[in-house]
Amino acid sequence: MTKINIREIALLSIIEIMEKGKMSHLVLAQVLKKYQYLEKQDRAFLSRLVEGTIERIITLDYILNQFSSVPTEKMKPVIRNILRLSLYQILYMDGVPESAACNEAVKLAEKKGFKNLKGFVNGILRTIERRKDSIQYPDEKKEGTWYLSVFYSTPEWIIKQWIEQYGIEKARKMLEVSYKEERGISVRCNIEKRTKEEIRQMLEKEGVVVEECSYPDYALRISGYDYLEGLEAFREGFISVQDINSMMAAEKCGVKKGDFVLDVCAAPGGKSIHIAEKLNATGHVEARDLSKNKVNFIQENIERSGLKNIEAVVQDALILTKKDENRADIVIADLPCSGLGVIGKKNDLKYKMTEETQKELKQLQQKILSVVWRYVKKGGILFYSTCTVNKKENEENTEWFLKEYPFELEESRTFLQGIDDGDGFYFARFRKKE
């Protein structure tokens, strides 16, 4: 059997993400599923290479450009990403010998058809290896936001936006959250099936590191596992992956037994399933999304949960379904957004998002809200949420909605990553006037 080259798999994954626009969490999930037979240590090394390199792209390119006669943006994509991957190992992975990182980079360049550029790759990496203590960074006092951009590998426009909206101290804390080595994931325990303590014991028996979350009381944070789908608690539907702040949708929407709930942008279905659990085998949840692929994903999660009071439906949130007007006790509108609250987990989002796209997403949210409010019966709830921390999408759209439609605001809140526990998240609960 041919020996698997972990660095080559990491390189191909990084190219898929940075050059072809694929989503990092989806690419890595597919790769880990394909190579689930590898040793846990190899899979952890692969994850660290991909996630770490992607996380630090701006920093890595800034350093490479000090030592290369060819700017990274002018390099061939394969060479650019071999250098990024290898420099990440030299600078940030103490367990990898620097000579190994350099040698493997040269081998990868040759294997990928760039034998003539072996010397170029080797020369840059060996020079940085020798002179890494003399790397020049922007002056923090003279170039404050550019310094933060290079240091935290985050586009400067995002940093300026966060400073403007939240101030420098909060902005720094929001940037720092991405750099925790082992962040783990939060999971929601289905306490209708097993007690939280039983689920904890089941996870620990499989070698998972389990910690308490600050809220809610049915959530746990897990890390140190090899393969999520290999965990019995996950396969049996005893746990669902969901951020603790995302769990606030079911906590804050006021769901009660017998309610009819529409979730208009539901994939992957975490909020819908959580609400269906809270209905305790009564009522009905219709979890909608735009594409068959997304709805199939929701359906997989529903089947794993074993719930019968929920269905997944293909439906464009921009198109009104007349039969549902004034029918829903609760409409969940967790809408497409810039995602800047989750860049600690989806660390390529920060490179792909632009201010122009943010404006387009704000308008898209308004278009969806202008349709889905009609589904709410008088006295019912519209629960609007996003996984961004951009006030122009969140608070400004809340103000707009209140001016346009017959609702009153009962509660709203922003959770900031690095300041509150969990991801960045915003919600506003509106009640339709009688």
Residues of the chain under the 50 pLDDT cut: 1
Q: CB atoms < 10 A from the CB of 42, how many?
A: 14
B/e letters for 383-414, b = 16+ CB within 10 Å, e = fewer, are bbbbbbbbbbbbeebbeebeeebebeeeebeb
How far from chain centre, in Å, is Cα 360? 20
Catalytic, 253? Answer no
pTM: 0.92
For residue 344, the model assigns a pLDDT of 84
**Residue in the block written with tokens 């400004």:** 396
Which residue, chain included where needed, has tokens 């019912």?
380
Q: Which of 102, 189, 213, 387 is catalytic?
A: 387
Strand-pair category, 425-432 with 376-386: antiparallel
pLDDT attached to residue 38: 87
Residue linked to tokens 């979350």: 213
* Residues 270/331, Cβ–Cβ less than 8 Å: no
CB 150 within 8 A of CB 139: no
pLDDT at res. 40: 85
What is the pLDDT, as a whole number, of residue 1?
46
Alpha-carbon distances of 346 from 18, 26, 329, 334, 414, rounded to whole Å? 13, 9, 33, 18, 19
* Burial readout 287-314 (b: 16 or more C-beta within 10 A, e: otherwise): bbbbeeebbebbbebbebbebeebbbee
Question: Which pLDDT score, from 0 to 100, does residue 19 have?
Answer: 95
pLDDT at 335: 97
For residue 37, what pLDDT is reported?
A: 85
Confidence at residue 79, expressed as pLDDT on a 0 to 100 scale: 97
What pLDDT is stored for residue 192 in this prediction? Answer: 82
